[in-house]
Amino acid sequence: MLRRLLIAALLLSGILGVVGLAMAQDATPGALFNVTNEYTMATVVKVTGIAWFDRMEQGIGWFGQDFPSVTAFQQGPAEADAAQQVQVIEDLIAQGVDSLCVIPFQPETVEPVLQRAREAGIVVITHESSAQQNIDFDIEAFDNAAFGRNLMDNLAARMGGEGEYTVFVGSLTSKTHNEWVDSAIAHQIATYPNMTLVGDKNESFDDPQVAYERMQELLVQFPNLRGVQGSASTDVAGVGQAVEEAGLQDEIVVVGTSLPSIARDLIPTGAVDMISFWDPAYAGYACNMIALTMLEGQMPASLLDGSGLPPFLSFGFPNLPGYGSMSLVDGKVFYGSAWVEVTAENLADYAF
């Protein structure tokens, strides 16, 4: 009975959760249910000491505060190295942790060790790894197609819905980049008929210098260019620099996936107009929240056996921005809508 009530509460609050999206920044999301059992919950990141995962560690800290009986901590190799990450996970299995949240550096390399973890009875959740096999669940911050459409909406709004634009991807084989850009282009064709895509997809190879040089060429090649959508986190940095040096910050709109720590100097001048990303603190929190739900036996049975699932199931954590309502795909991957938009107005709120 209690359990059914809880699930009902979860479902209801999932719907309300979207309303809670506009919550204040650095507050802890707040415990959804009381947990008295003691658990040791580890989060394994790709690499320690970079701003992105420092921010994630903050989210793990909030999780520990919200659930005092839980020992939650974050670990990772000192270098982004697949073998070292495996070693960290091995050590944690030996220590007998109750759950592992892993952000794999190389998904295929961690498969065997994740399998051993599950055999040892450890709950395994991954993030940014939607094709992972040996897991209970994977959690993704957002659906890539929706994210791409949102970038296009931002680009179009600032371009007044008309003019020439072009797109950048890390490479033509970067799966997520191309999903963002393809859905953005399809969305533009359907919604903004007065906008025109010029040139092919530009490849930056995740190098701001390449993006910079390519953008300089594009400025010469397409003198009427009015908008750019970037994909790699460094794209808008290179593109924005070229725009700034050409004195075109007011003429050309630049939006894309990036981080404040990469584009901070370009946003106030208008060389880059808007960047979007997901907040690793909330992603880390959500990862552990799902793990805790599993450990407490609170995960709805229909989600566990995959039987008769509706295509979109509202399930989530009301106070966690972007994860209030998630969809479950293939019985394994949760998608939130946890993107953050940063412009000159809220740039100062983000240190990473």
Partner 1 sequence: MNWRALFARQEFIILLVLIALCAVIAIINPTAFLSVQNLFRILRACIVIGIFALGTLMVLISGGIDVSFPAIAITALYISTRIIVDTGIDSVPLAFLLGALIGLGLGLINGVFIGIFRLPTLIVTLGTLNLFRGALLFFVGSERIRLSEVTTNLADASRLNLITVPLARGEASLHFTFALLIALALLVWFILSRTMLGRAIYAIGGDREAAERAGFNIVRTQFFIYGFVGLLAGIGGIVFGILSREADPFSIVGTELDVIAAVVLGGALITGGRGTVIGTLLGVLLITVISSNLVLLGIPTEWQRFVIGVLIIIGVGIPALQALRKRRLRVQTA
Task: Return the residue of 16, 19, 83, 220 that touches partner 1, per CB under 8 A.
Answer: 220
Is 162 a binding residue for partner 1 by CB under 8 A? The answer is: no
| Residues binding partner 1: number (CB under 8 A) | 27
Q: How far apart are the first and last CA of the chain?
A: 44
**Binding piece for partner 1, criterion CB under 8 A, among 18-26, 96-104, 111-119, 257-265:** 257-265
- Please state, in angstroms and rounded to a whole number, the distance separating the CA atoms of residues 251 and 269: 12
**Binding piece for partner 1, criterion CB under 8 A, among 26-34, 217-225, 271-279, 326-334:** 217-225
Is 223 a binding residue for partner 1 by CB under 8 A? The answer is: yes
> Nearer Cβ to partner 1, position 262 or 291?
262
- Please state, in angstroms and rounded to a whole number, the distance separating the CA atoms of residues 169 and 205: 8
Is 209 a binding residue for partner 1 by CB under 8 A? The answer is: yes
Task: Return the residue of 55, 177, 187, 264 that touches partner 1, per CB under 8 A.
Answer: 264
- Please state, in angstroms and rounded to a whole number, the distance separating the CA atoms of residues 294 and 300: 9
Is 212 a binding residue for partner 1 by CB under 8 A? The answer is: yes
- Please state, in angstroms and rounded to a whole number, the distance separating the CA atoms of residues 310 and 282: 26
Neighbours of 177 (CB within 10 A): 26
E strand residue ranges, the chain = 39-44, 70-75, 99-102, 123-127, 137-140, 163-169, 195-197, 202-203, 225-230, 253-257, 274-278, 327-329, 333-335, 339-342
Task: Return the residue of 38, 91, 119, 217 that touches partner 1, per CB under 8 A.
Answer: 217
**Binding piece for partner 1, criterion CB under 8 A, among 100-108, 138-146, 164-172, 261-269:** 261-269
Range 255-287 burial, b when 16+ CB lie within 10 A, else e: bbbbbbebbbebbeebbbbbbbbbbbbbbbbbb
**Binding piece for partner 1, criterion CB under 8 A, among 129-137, 240-248, 289-297, 299-307:** 240-248
Strand-pair partners of 165: 197, 227
Interface map 37-66 toward partner 1 (x if CB under 8 A): ------------xx----------------
Task: Return the residue of 1, 27, 190, 247 that touches partner 1, per CB under 8 A.
Answer: 247
φ and ψ at residue 39, rounded to 5 degrees: -130, 150
CB 165 within 8 A of CB 229: yes
Task: Return the residue of 38, 79, 90, 108 that touches partner 1, per CB under 8 A.
Answer: 79
State the nearest-atom distance from the C-beta of 162 to partner 1, in Å: 17
State the nearest-atom distance from the C-beta of 49 to partner 1, in Å: 7
Q: Which two tokens stand for residue 84?
A: 């070292």
- Please state, in angstroms and rounded to a whole number, the distance separating the CA atoms of residues 318 and 310: 20
Is 82 a binding residue for partner 1 by CB under 8 A? The answer is: no
Neighbours of 190 (CB within 10 A): 9
Is 245 a binding residue for partner 1 by CB under 8 A? The answer is: yes
Helical spans, DSSP H, in 192-299:
208-221, 235-245, 260-263, 280-295
Is 265 a binding residue for partner 1 by CB under 8 A? The answer is: yes
Is 241 a binding residue for partner 1 by CB under 8 A? The answer is: yes
Interaction site with partner 1 (CB under 8 A): 49-50, 79-80, 207-209, 212-213, 216-217, 219-221, 223, 237, 241, 244-248, 251, 261-262, 264-265
